[in-house]
């Protein structure tokens, strides 16, 4: 884990929710009213509610595999700084031992670290019920938090910075080499963020998850209190705005734009926000997408559906769907065009990477000759207006099966997600044009990148020889994205 706070692993969530033993063990460390402990939710942490002298409190804990005492203390130190400055953050409560954090060994969840918080002041207002005034107060409340953050040392981040988050993302993607689009997005974000100016007025500690689920409206004071600072990190302050407004598209384009303007106006009534950074909001929304993607991917490691309860299987399906949605936002727009008199020569100049010469030794001109004399259909792959690759397919006259005979991406366009997007376009094109129920292809056994791509798209190996693996894709089922 590298010490970086992430989503809870789904396997840990299953173990931790098997019973309430971990919560009961931890609660003994704090003053509480007997018989009031109740499960509330489990997402990034396990959260239970209980009463102390008839007043609602929250017990939050997590497995050591998913977070460390040092990082949790970093979060609490920042929250205490905000409270000292008069900000209405949910306050942590010391244990009977005088500690903020207690650790217990549990039979199901292993070692767990727990903290207790008072209930935040105010009440929940759902996004769809928020008025323009609510949005202005929301933006103003975030700006007040950032003003206090300016006086809190960034050196106390303890592995809680945007660059640490990118390192965590890289570590996750190393375990998933097939996620080339995510890797390309990571490289682009590193480069773009490194170009941005920094400084006390621009970067500092942020909440990171200042969404409606983690704030409560204090109507008499026209401001919001905040809780759940477990994702707090050092970042550009505008990242907090991008993350807070991430769900606005659910309101529709026109309403979302108006609400965003009210939020920004409320923010600017307290703290400056430069136009260039408001314009950069989409960049920070991309960071949030990639960070969310990596945390989800990590959370699913080791999950076995055959041994999991039904609720966990449903959750895994929902999380996988979220990853597919995010991938769709990275997906390069690849279009297929016929090979004709205007582009055939350019196709012959496409080149495989040097290390791929053995796995794709046949020149494009050969496939064009096959197409002209043997009935193959050649297609050019374009990314925008740039020729990026080539494909050819054919129908076997003996049994009517459709084969992808050739597929390659030019070396200059590799490692950008174009290979996957192009193959998805090719599959859709053949299926829609010919109404076939399956596609077949072959590749050399040593071509591991191709093997991973085809497997991830649903191609199953049906034949294997020393020189070729034959794969079949059933088009009667929905293909993974």
pLDDT, averaged in runs of 10, over the chain (481 residues)? 64 91 96 97 94 97 93 95 98 98 92 97 95 97 98 86 96 92 90 92 96 96 96 96 86 80 97 92 94 96 92 94 90 89 95 77 90 94 92 94 94 82 93 93 89 90 91 72 44
Exposed e or buried b for every residue in 97-113, given b needs 16+ CB within 10 A? eeebbbebebeebeebb
The set of catalytic residues is: 454
Which of 464, 462, 420 is closest to 444 using CA atoms? 464
**pLDDT at residue 3, as a whole number:** 45
- How far apart, in whole angstroms, are the C-alpha atoms of residue 26 and residue 45? 14
**DSSP bridge partners of 395:** 402
**DSSP bridge partners of 105:** 111
**pLDDT at residue 1, as a whole number:** 39
Which of 309, 302, 314 is closest to 14 using CA atoms? 309
Which of 172, 173, 179 is closest to 453 using CA atoms? 179
**pLDDT at residue 479, as a whole number:** 47
- How far apart, in whole angstroms, are the C-alpha atoms of residue 374 and residue 296? 47
Is residue 189 within 8 Å of residue 165, measured between CB atoms?
A: no
The tokens of 254 are what? 């026109």
- How far apart, in whole angstroms, are the C-alpha atoms of residue 207 and residue 76? 12
Q: For residue 383, give the 3-state DSSP assignment.
A: strand
336: phi > 0 → left, psi -120 to 50 → alpha, else beta; which? beta
Which of 8, 3, 155, 6 is closest to 77 using CA atoms? 155
Handedness of CA 324, 326, 330, 336 (dihedral sign): positive
| 265 contacts: CB under 8 Å, gap ≥ 6 | 136, 139
**pLDDT at residue 4, as a whole number:** 53
**pLDDT at residue 252, as a whole number:** 63
**pLDDT at residue 123, as a whole number:** 96
- The pTM for the full model equals 0.73
Q: For residue 400, give the 3-state DSSP assignment.
A: coil
Q: Can you tell me which residue has the tokens 């494909």?
A: 391
């Amino acid at each position: 884990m590298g010490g970086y706070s992430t989503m809870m692993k789904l396997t840990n969530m299953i173990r931790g929710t098997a019973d309430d033993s971990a919560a009961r063990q931890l609660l003994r460390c704090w003053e509480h009213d007997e018989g009031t402990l109740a499960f509330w939710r489990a997402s990034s942490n396990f959260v239970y509610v209980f009463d102390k002298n008839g007043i609602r409190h929250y017990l939050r804990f997590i497995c050591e595999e998913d977070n460390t005492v040092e990082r949790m203390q970093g979060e609490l130190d920042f929250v205490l700084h905000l409270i000292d400055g008069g900000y209405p953050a949910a306050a942590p409560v010391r244990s009977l031992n005088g500690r903020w954090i207690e650790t217990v060994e549990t039979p199901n969840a292993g070692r767990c670290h727990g903290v207790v918080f008072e209930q935040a002041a105010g009440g929940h207002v759902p996004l769809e019920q928020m008025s323009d005034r609510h949005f202005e107060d929301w933006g103003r409340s975030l700006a007040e938090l950032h003003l206090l953050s300016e006086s809190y040392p960034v050196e106390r981040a303890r592995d809680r910075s945007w660059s640490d988050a990118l390192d965590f993302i890289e570590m996750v993607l190393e375990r998933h080499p097939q996620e080339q689009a995510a890797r390309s997005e990571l490289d682009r974000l590193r480069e773009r963020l490194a170009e941005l100016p920094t400084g006390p007025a621009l970067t500092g500690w942020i909440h990171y998850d200042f969404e409606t689920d983690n704030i409560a409206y204090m109507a008499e004071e026209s401001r919001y209190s905040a809780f759940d600072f477990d994702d707090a990190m050092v970042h550009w302050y505008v990242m907090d705005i991008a993350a807070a407004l991430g769900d606005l598209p659910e309101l529709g384009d026109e309403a979302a734009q108006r609400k965003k303007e009210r939020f920004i106006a409320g923010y600017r009534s307290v703290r400056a926000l430069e136009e260039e950074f408001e314009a950069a909001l989409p960049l920070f929304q991309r960071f949030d997408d990639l960070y969310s993607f990596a945390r989800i991917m990590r959370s699913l490691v080791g999950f076995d559906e055959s041994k999991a309860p039904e609720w966990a299987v449903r959750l895994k399906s929902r999380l996988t769907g979220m990853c597919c949605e995010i991938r769709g936002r990275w997906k390069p727009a690849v279009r297929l065009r016929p090979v004709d008199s205007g582009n055939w020569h350019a196709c012959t100049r496409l080149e495989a990477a040097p290390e791929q010469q053995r796995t794709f030794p046949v020149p494009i001109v050969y496939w064009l000759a096959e197409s002209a004399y043997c009935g193959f259909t050649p297609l050019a792959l374009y990314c925008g207006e740039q020729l990026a690759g080539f494909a050819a397919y054919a129908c076997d006259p003996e049994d009517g099966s459709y084969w992808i005979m050739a597929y390659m991406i030019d070396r200059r366009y590799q490692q950008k997600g174009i290979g996957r997007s192009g193959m998805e376009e090719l599959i859709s094109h053949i299926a829609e044009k010919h109404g076939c129920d399956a596609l077949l292809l072959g590749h050399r056994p040593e071509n591991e990148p191709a093997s991973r791509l085809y497997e991830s798209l649903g191609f199953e190996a049906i034949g294997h020889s020393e020189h070729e693996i034959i794969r079949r894709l059933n088009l009667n089922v929905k293909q993974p994205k």
